[in-house]
Structure 1
Amino acid sequence: MQRHSIQPRQDWQKRVEQTGLTYHSLEGNPYWDESAYWELSSAEVDRIEAATSEVQRLCLAAGDHIIEKNRFAEMGIPAKAIPHIVQAWQQEPPALYGRIDLAYDGNHLKLLEYNADTPTSLVEAAVTQWYWLQDGHAQADQFNSLHEKLIAKWLDLVPYISQPVYFGSEPVEEDRITVEYLRDTAHQAGLQTISITMHDIGWQASTYSFVDLDRKPIRTIFKLYPWESLLNDSFGPHALSTMRQTQWIEPIWKMLWSNKALLAILWELFPGHELLLPTFLDGPRDLQSWVRKPFFGREGANVTVSLSGITMESTSGAHTKDPFIYQQYAELASCGSTHAAIGSWLIDGEPAGIGIRESSGYITTNTSRFVPHLFR
């Protein structure tokens, strides 16, 4: 896995915007960064694909274990959600996608975390880097079947969901664009779709149902909104009491996998597994270098990196009151002072491609650069 510096395309901003990526720059600096790309070998792609499938298998086993051993309290999951999680896990309602973040130092692949509920950087991975490849590197290949697999999954879901399918997010540009892209893939699969902000979802007591602004019932909704936030909202109790009437994608059992405590449970169940890092709930134990992460953290918030007793980096955020995990520090792919994490996507539980995020520090955050990749 090697990083190459290149000249960006002329009018790259316009080209990127044409793929739907409007948030290509942040505070005057490129977020989408095509002044470089990462080249992988076909053998490395095969390893990442196999590792992604294996992590998915381990997480399925961990989900069974959490439910059988009733370990919800250790994960900070509220009691009111437990019966609904168990039921959803057993009944397997529609689930669409997720992203496993991996560290790769050129020799070892290690699981960093699983963004199973609300992963973003999807448009960049599925569409924008694909058109970048076609524009100047068409002789190479890319680990990227996201678009086709998303459409295929929506087609598979047609018999199991009510239409129209609502697509909900907060009015934040990245979230809105991600949801609009997912809506477009559903539309290409022939589904009827409607966009809505999470704030515009209403509750109609007379019909005991969620409704849109026109008072039409919402029976199926894809939401780019964390389950733990949804349950804490005023209509959280209604979301739990109407599980039979309203189908939420992603399903509530994703709370098991989007929770960083999963990483400690995985290490407990599969100690020494080549893809896992030693991770603990009760402190760093004998780890010399470790990363502290909040259970419900996202996008690198409230993360601390300690190397040999020295705090190298720490981020702020809204998760100061969360419980934390302590995970052994893992080296990332690097080039000089640049560090890169691999986001490996799954559609319907199957590997579907990767996106690479770069940072000049130790922590990948929501402002970390997205850099395209190819393989030969």
Structure 2
Amino acid sequence: MHKIALPERPNWRAYAKEVGFTFADMHGEPYWDESSAYEFSLEQIETDLEDPATELHDMCREAVDHIVKSEALLDRLAIPDAHRDLVLESWQRQDPEIYGRFDFAYDGRSPAKLLEYNADTPTSLYESAAFQWQWLEDQVGAGVLPHGSDQFNGIHEALAARFRAVFAPKSQLHFTAVAGNPEDYGTVEALGWAAREAGLGAHYCDLESIAISDEGQFLDDKDRVMGVLFKLYPWEDLLRDDYAKYIRDSNCLMLEPAWKAVVSNKGLLPVLWQMFEGHPNLLPAFFEADLGGGMTQDGPVAQDVVQSFSRAEAQLNAGYVRKPILSREGASVDIFKDGALLEQAKNSEYSDYPRVIQAYAPLPEFDGFRPVIGAWIVGDSCAGIGIREDKSRITQDLSRFKPHYIKA
């Protein structure tokens, strides 16, 4: 894995504007940055990223089955009491999932380490699936990259195949996001594009324009009943909204499904560690309330947790990350090293939630930037990657997106 300086395409900003990539620059700073790219070998992609991501997805599904049957874990994950049946029934029906994104720390040598699973509303989809693929084709065509250079990117094709597998031809799907957010719209439009390619209808409606019929069904801004709704709005917020009470009887299939509320939650991390302790792609992780020794302790702790912590104590003492169970874009995250605060997120809006402790896996550093590998899961397998980098150790909403290629 190397970071290679490359000439930018002379017309890329005009092309971005033409295709609606309006957030390529944000707040006076580049978001899309093709002044360099990350180079991988095929073995690194297939063995170190693709296969582990697919395996982790299977492990997460095992964790869902464990969590939804445990009132104690649902408490830990702060799933509202009123909607636990909604989550459980969604899992029991096997409501289909479409996509998700694992975030990895990976340096090209050591096993990739799971930082978190963005299982519900991951963004950066358009950049990953479409814009970086066009970058590859253009750079190979211009001779900047050698003929035969490739990219781990079958995301769009996998999404179309997934929609085709889940829904009957000509099924009508709705997509929604908060109005006025170009990045969110780019994500739902990328999904809608794949759905249309799969032979389905794809209709967009601003989240704020959704209404409820007298019969309790969701209606779009043209008063059409929504039978399938992809919402770029996280379950942890939706389950606390007034709309939540209508979901169960609305006859509307939600994408992502309600059971994803338990895997888009950072509480998944200690559950995975307890179920699969020592897995090469996992970091030791615990609920903060279970830990003493300078961290907080909240009542009796199961003996297996005590023993697991004892085995991981040296690694945690060297460095750990404290994360709220509900958090977005690195908000309210603290990194400690050798007992001292190393870095703290500027955004603290999630600081009131319970927290988990995860062993610290330092991101590799290239030219002062630290990349996080986003491994995209479509259906039940990994279909591609996208890379975000930042000078900070905490990846945030304005961290840069970098293209990648597989060396010919």
Q: Does 1:264 align with 2:284?
A: no
Aligned to 1:337: 368
Match of 1:281 among 287, 292, 297: 287
Q: Does 1:310 align with 2:340?
A: yes
Aligned to 2:176: 168
Q: CA deviation at 1:19?
A: 4.2
Q: CA deviation at 1:200?
A: 0.5
1:128-277 to structure 2, matched below 5 A, reads: 128-137=131-140, 138-159=147-168, 163-171=171-179, 172-205=181-214, 207-242=215-250, 245-277=251-283
- Tell me which amino acid in the other structure corresponds to 1:347: V
Q: CA deviation at 1:343?
A: 0.2
- SS state at 1:37 partner: strand
Q: Deviations over 1:33-83 (max 9, x none)?
A: 000100001110012111101111211221122133332111111112211
Could you tell me how far apart the structure 1 residues matched to 2:46 and 2:226 are? 41
Could you tell me how far apart the structure 2 residues matched to 1:195 and 1:21 are? 17
Could you tell me how far apart the structure 2 residues matched to 1:153 and 1:58 are? 20
Q: CA deviation at 1:6?
A: 1.7
1:19-38 to structure 2, matched below 5 A, reads: 19-38=19-38
Aligned to 1:6: 6
State whether residues 111 and 275 of structure 1, in contact with CA within 8 Å, keep that contact through their aligned partners in structure 2: yes
Could you tell me how far apart the structure 1 residues matched to 2:170 and 2:274 are? 40
Q: CA deviation at 1:248?
A: 0.6
- Tell me which amino acid in the other structure corresponds to 2:283: L
- Tell me which amino acid in the other structure corresponds to 2:340: I
Q: Does 1:321 align with 2:360?
A: no
Could you tell me how far apart the structure 2 residues matched to 1:113 and 1:371 are? 20
Could you tell me how far apart the structure 2 residues matched to 1:36 and 1:311 are? 32
Aligned to 2:78: 76
* Structure 1: 5+ residue stretches without partners: none
Q: Which moved more, 1:61-70 or 1:214-223?
A: 61-70
- Tell me which amino acid in the other structure corresponds to 1:79: D
- Tell me which amino acid in the other structure corresponds to 1:298: R
Q: Which moved more, 1:261-270 or 1:84-93?
A: 84-93
Aligned to 2:17: 17
Aligned to 2:115: 112
- Tell me which amino acid in the other structure corresponds to 1:293: K
State whether residues 19 and 128 of structure 1, in contact with CA within 8 Å, keep that contact through their aligned partners in structure 2: no
- SS state at 1:151 partner: helix
- Tell me which amino acid in the other structure corresponds to 2:206: T
- SS state at 2:395 partner: coil
* Structure 2: 5+ residue stretches without partners: 141-146, 296-308
Q: CA deviation at 1:196?
A: 0.3
Moved over 6 A (4+): none
Q: CA deviation at 1:197?
A: 0.8
Q: CA deviation at 1:3?
A: 0.4
- SS state at 2:384 partner: strand
Could you tell me how far apart the structure 2 residues matched to 1:250 and 1:117 are? 6
Could you tell me how far apart the structure 2 residues matched to 1:325 and 1:158 are? 37
Could you tell me how far apart the structure 2 residues matched to 1:269 and 1:193 are? 39
Could you tell me how far apart the structure 2 residues matched to 1:34 and 1:18 are? 18
State whether residues 216 and 249 of structure 2, in contact with CA within 8 Å, keep that contact through their aligned partners in structure 1: no
Q: Deviations over 1:64-117 (max 9, x none)?
A: 221333321111111122112111112112211000011113312111100000
- SS state at 2:167 partner: helix
- Tell me which amino acid in the other structure corresponds to 2:373: I
Q: Percent identity?
A: 37
- Tell me which amino acid in the other structure corresponds to 2:276: F
Match of 2:91 among 86, 89, 92: 89
Match of 2:322 among 292, 303, 306: 292
- Tell me which amino acid in the other structure corresponds to 1:321: D
Aligned to 1:127: 130
Match of 1:103 among 105, 123, 133: 105
Could you tell me how far apart the structure 1 residues matched to 2:259 and 2:27 are? 37
Q: CA deviation at 1:271?
A: 1.3
Could you tell me how far apart the structure 2 residues matched to 1:100 and 1:110 are? 10
Q: Does 1:50 align with 2:56?
A: no
- SS state at 1:68 partner: coil
Q: CA deviation at 1:235?
A: 1.5
State whether residues 104 and 341 of structure 1, in contact with CA within 8 Å, keep that contact through their aligned partners in structure 2: yes
Could you tell me how far apart the structure 1 residues matched to 2:85 and 2:55 are? 28
State whether residues 163 and 219 of structure 1, in contact with CA within 8 Å, keep that contact through their aligned partners in structure 2: no
- Tell me which amino acid in the other structure corresponds to 1:352: A
- SS state at 2:68 partner: helix
Q: CA deviation at 1:293?
A: 1.1
State whether residues 321 and 336 of structure 2, in contact with CA within 8 Å, keep that contact through their aligned partners in structure 1: yes
- Tell me which amino acid in the other structure corresponds to 1:46: E
TM-score (norm 1): 0.95
- Tell me which amino acid in the other structure corresponds to 1:281: F
TM-score (norm 2): 0.88
